[in-house]
């Protein structure tokens, strides 16, 4: 394979280091007395080559080149740097700063192993843009330059920018053209940066683009919004609760009911269970009713399971009265409710007695 130092795929570090070593070697070399100029130049060339090989001593297998080939091919590289277009001096400065000797020394050994003198994969992968800055005008290398990912993407964008539409495009045509342009550039961009172009464009604040959120992220954002609104409302309530409670003629009990009705917590929450509900007896207070309760309870407990009982007649036998001291018309109901209230064991005969309705003649 023919070695060339100006090939687009030649390692950028090899180009710049060879160029810098030429100047440093020539400036430090001292011509001895009686040494002819051709011999002095030959000695400088030899030192230049040795310094180049020493600079890449860690991976010298990848940068093996003979002295004769190096001396012959370096002249083309020297011409490229000297005759670099003065209108593109910024590109030259950037190229030299990227591949300078100090940058090569700071690279870890694993990264250095990726580079080689010819067909450098390290430069193609990590420095595609900088490699595209090196001037190549020879027809021999045009195809090689076109293979550069960044150059291909840049050329595609330039072609689209230079083409002018004769008539105003419709929205559908604009969308189609943008999609085709994105598909071409995204492929090259992803090879260079390892991320999609759309993801990179989102990080550019000037474009004001936003990445579409997933359903889970949208739900989470919605819940967070609800929580913030709830917290803000509750904070406002805490500041105005005294005014809303005592600023009108509403009682504390009524205010408590309204507050719990307007709260965000469910009915089964501890907030609502602070005020236990007291279940009132449907027949009144038993302490205000007079009859022989112990005897009635003993008689009922002596019944066998399944015995039919006429509760109204039983209430008349024991003269069950109401809270006013009169014979209760609903004596049977009073007796049953009282037996339920005094009995706490579900397995006693009291809970298994069947009521008997004398008027209908059925249990």
- Say if residues 12 and 95 touch (Cβ distance below 8 Å): yes
pLDDT score at 206:
82
* Total count of domains within the chain: 4
Q: What are the beta bridge partners of residue 327?
A: 321
Q: Identify the domain containing residue 220 by its residue range.
A: 215-262
> Rounded to an integer, what distance in angstroms lies between the CA atom of residue 245 and that of residue 264?
19
- Burial letters 215-229, b for 16+ CB under 10 A, else e: eeeeeeeeeeeeeee
Whether residue 183 lies inside any domain: the answer is yes
Whether residue 144 lies inside any domain: the answer is yes
- The reply to whether 257 and 289 lie within a common domain is no
- The reply to whether 113 and 237 lie within a common domain is no
> Rounded to an integer, what distance in angstroms lies between the CA atom of residue 81 and that of residue 77?
6
pLDDT score at 363:
40
- The reply to whether 157 and 38 lie within a common domain is yes
pLDDT digits (tens, 9 = 90+) for 291-328: 888 888 888 888 877 778 888 888 888 888 888 888 88
- The reply to whether 110 and 57 lie within a common domain is yes
> Two tokens at 58?
């860690």
- The reply to whether 127 and 148 lie within a common domain is yes
Whether residue 288 lies inside any domain: the answer is yes
> Rounded to an integer, what distance in angstroms lies between the CA atom of residue 287 and that of residue 282?
14
Whether residue 7 lies inside any domain: the answer is no
- The reply to whether 336 and 352 lie within a common domain is yes
> Rounded to an integer, what distance in angstroms lies between the CA atom of residue 85 and that of residue 361?
121
- The reply to whether 127 and 201 lie within a common domain is no
> Two tokens at 78?
């020297």
- The reply to whether 200 and 252 lie within a common domain is no
pTM passes above 0.85 = no
- The reply to whether 87 and 23 lie within a common domain is yes
State the helix-helix crossing angle for 171-193 and 149-162, rounded to 10 degrees.
160
- The reply to whether 245 and 287 lie within a common domain is no
Whether residue 363 lies inside any domain: the answer is no
Give me the residues of the chain with pLDDT under 70, please: 1-2, 137-168, 245, 264-279, 343-363
Q: Is 44 left (phi over 0), alpha (psi -120 to 50) or beta?
A: alpha
pLDDT score at 159:
57
pLDDT score at 285:
82
- The reply to whether 229 and 290 lie within a common domain is no
- The reply to whether 194 and 243 lie within a common domain is no
Whether residue 6 lies inside any domain: the answer is no
**What Cα–Cα distance (Å) separates residue 230 from each residue in 181, 223, 234, 261?**
47, 10, 6, 15
């Amino acid at each position: 394979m023919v070695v060339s130092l100006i090939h687009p795929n030649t390692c950028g570090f090899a180009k710049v280091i060879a160029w810098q070593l030429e100047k440093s070697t020539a400036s430090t070399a001292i011509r001895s007395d009686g040494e002819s100029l051709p011999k002095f130049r030959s000695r400088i060339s030899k030192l230049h080559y040795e310094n180049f090989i020493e600079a890449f001593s860690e991976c010298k297998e990848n940068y093996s080149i003979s002295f004769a080939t190096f001396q012959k091919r370096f002249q083309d590289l020297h011409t490229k740097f000297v005759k670099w277009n003065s209108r593109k001096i910024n590109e030259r400065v950037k190229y030299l700063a990227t591949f300078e000797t100090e940058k090569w020394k700071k690279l870890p050994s694993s990264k250095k192993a990726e580079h080689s003198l010819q067909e450098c994969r390290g430069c193609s992968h990590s420095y595609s843009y900088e490699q595209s800055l090196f001037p190549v005008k020879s027809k021999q290398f045009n195809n090689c330059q076109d293979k550069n990912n960044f150059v291909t993407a840049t050329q595609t964008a330039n072609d689209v920018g230079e083409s002018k539409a004769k008539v105003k495009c419709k929205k559908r045509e604009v969308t189609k053209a943008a999609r085709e342009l994105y598909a071409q550039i995204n492929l090259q961009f992803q090879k260079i940066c390892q991320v999609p172009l759309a993801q990179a464009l989102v990080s550019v604040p000037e474009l004001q683009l936003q990445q579409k959120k997933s359903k889970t992220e949208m739900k989470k954002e919605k819940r967070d919004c609800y929580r913030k609104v709830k917290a803000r409302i509750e904070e406002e309530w805490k500041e105005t609760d005294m005014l809303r409670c005592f600023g009108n003629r509403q009682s504390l009990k009524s205010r408590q009911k309204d507050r719990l009705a307007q709260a965000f917590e469910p009915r089964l929450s501890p907030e609502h269970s602070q005020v236990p509900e007291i279940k009132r007896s449907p027949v009144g207070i038993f302490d205000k009713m007079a009859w022989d309760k112990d005897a009635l309870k003993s008689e009922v407990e002596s019944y066998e399971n399944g015995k039919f009982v006429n509760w109204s007649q039983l209430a008349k036998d024991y003269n069950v009265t109401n809270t006013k001291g009169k014979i209760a018309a609903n004596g049977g109901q009073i007796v049953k409710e009282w037996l339920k209230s005094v009995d706490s064991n579900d397995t006693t005969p009291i809970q298994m007695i069947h009521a008997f309705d004398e008027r209908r003649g059925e249990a």
